[in-house]
Amino acid sequence: MSAGWLESFFTAVGLQKLAYHWQALLFATLACNFTVGFSRIISPILFPKSYKQLSDRKRLSWDIHVVSLVHSVAITALSIPLLFDETLQKDKVFGYDEYAGNVYAIACGYFLWDSLVSLYYVRDFGVGFVVHGSVCFGVYLFAYRPFLNYYGAAFLMFELSTPFLNLHWFMDKVGATGSWLQIINVSVLPVLDRVPLFLQVIYGGANVVLNTLNVLWFFKMLNAVSRRIPKKNGQAKSPKANIKDTISSGESWENINGKKID
């Protein structure tokens, strides 16, 4: 498959710069699956008691949290230089940089993997995570028009919250519930006439959908955390009782943040 053919194809679908980054995107998707396999090997060694006593579904959730944790740490670290990229600063709406393309390829690869896993296990994780992963994948895919390469990095900074949420989830599973560790668009307007209507609709709609999901999950997260804080009488629900109660009410931590909250 020649490079010329690929360039023609990606140009035809309006993603010109993807011709130079599709390999990285595919590699990132496969790397996520590899990380799941790695988690299944290393987790029983590092946490023999906690991991082995989990049900198959909760082991899957554990492995997915590992992928989410690795991705969130990596993507935020890689995105920081983009905030100071002179090429992107000169044209914050339509600017393009090869490094930015590689960073967004990693993000797209993760969100593609996330969408496929969420769809396959939709009965376990719910439709919300399918929508979240798919919308994120679509939004960052359009960075290869190119479009909003500068601001994409700023939105990836939301991933800074994910490691803390994942660590909170892991502490529940290793018996550390209630511990101190656990408690502890202006630039676009001047060039709006140059932005296709479908991109305005996609990005506007995506912001509404993603922020609605984040608000919903945020309040559910607060509700879950509040149940883990000791009451005035000094007693709090035990981890087992809490898990049993929350599962019966349909509000377990897995259902609240599923694999992660972005």
Which has the closest alpha carbon to 221: 162, 179, 157, 137?
Answer: 162
pLDDT in tens, 117-163: 999 999 888 888 898 889 889 889 999 999 888 888 888 877 776 76
Predicted confidence at residue 61, as pLDDT, reads 86
Instruction: Going residue by residue through the chain, which has 262 residues, state the pLDDT in tens, using 9 for 90 and above.
Output: 456 777 888 888 889 999 999 999 999 999 999 999 999 999 888 888 888 888 888 888 889 989 988 998 899 899 989 988 999 989 988 999 999 999 999 999 999 999 999 999 998 888 888 988 898 898 899 999 998 888 888 888 777 767 666 666 666 665 555 544 444 446 555 566 676 777 767 766 766 676 677 667 667 766 776 766 666 555 554 444 443 343 333 444 344 444 543 4
| 114-142: b (≥16 Cβ within 10 Å) or e | bbbbbeebeeebeebbbbbbbbbbbbbbb
Predicted confidence at residue 251, as pLDDT, reads 42
Which has the closest alpha carbon to 97: 83, 113, 114, 76?
Answer: 83
User: Tokens 């509000």 label which residue?
Assistant: 251
